Amino acid sequence: MYRRVCIPKLGLRWASTGMRNIAAPSKRPLYDSRYVLPMVLLVLVGSIAANRMDTERRISDMQQPYYAKIRILELLLARARAGDTAFDMSSELEIVDRVLERHKERSGRSNKCARRAVDEKPVVQEEESLDVLLNSIMRDLDSPVADAPAASEPAAYDGTIVTDREVLAREALREKESADFRADSGPRVIVQTPGEYVAAAEDTDVPRFL
């Protein structure tokens, strides 16, 4: 009788002791604090290096069009000294000026003091390399050349002023007639003799649908 009472008590005591050992695990930190400072330093150094590389790339991209403009001006100056003045400076510097304008638009986005005018074109958001800028500028220069023959069709002050005016007058009259033309959309009946609608109705055989 004594053994039957003590054995369950010992089992319950052992089970409660085991539950206390399981419910109280040792606390461990989620991360090691020794790696926090090196990670922060790595992020800072990486951001500084990336910013410096970006700045150097922008400076080099900005220097190339300026050097090209200086070379073009030197060539034009040499031609002028040699007596060759049959050139247009604005057309010679058109491509370089457009490249410089694009660079100014890109730099104006980061500089709050440099505000662009309201009527200017929107600044391109993506970063463009110098080759992409030159290709887009060449496409802009080629597009008006394709439309030039249509715009320069009438000759200007070359001795045929009266002929050109006559051609323009005929074209204006033709356009006015085509604009005023209205096609007759009424029903038409074909007969041998004009005006015989009654005879045409008698000879016409209308089939039955039902």
Distance CA 158, CA 143 (A): 27
The token pair at 187 is 């029903």
Per-domain boundaries in the chain: 35-107
Backbone angles phi, psi at 123, to 5 degrees: -75, 140
| Upper half-sphere CA count for residue 188 (Cβ side, 13 Å) | 4
Angle at which helices 94-110 and 36-81 cross, to 10°: 150
DSSP-derived letter for residue 76 is H
Residue 165, CA distances (Å) to 76, 129, 148, 158, 188 in order: 41, 50, 20, 13, 41
Q: Say whether 163 sits in a helix, a strand or coil.
A: helix
Asked if 122 and 137 touch (Cβ cutoff 8 Å), the reply is no
Which residues, 6 or more positions from 79, have their beta carbon under 8 angstroms from its beta carbon?
A: 85, 87
Per-residue pLDDT of the chain (210 residues; tens, 9 = 90+): 444 544 444 444 544 555 555 545 556 666 677 778 888 889 999 999 998 898 888 787 778 888 888 888 888 888 888 888 787 878 888 888 887 788 777 766 655 554 554 444 444 444 556 667 666 766 776 665 444 444 444 444 455 454 567 777 788 888 877 777 666 666 665 656 665 555 555 555 656 654
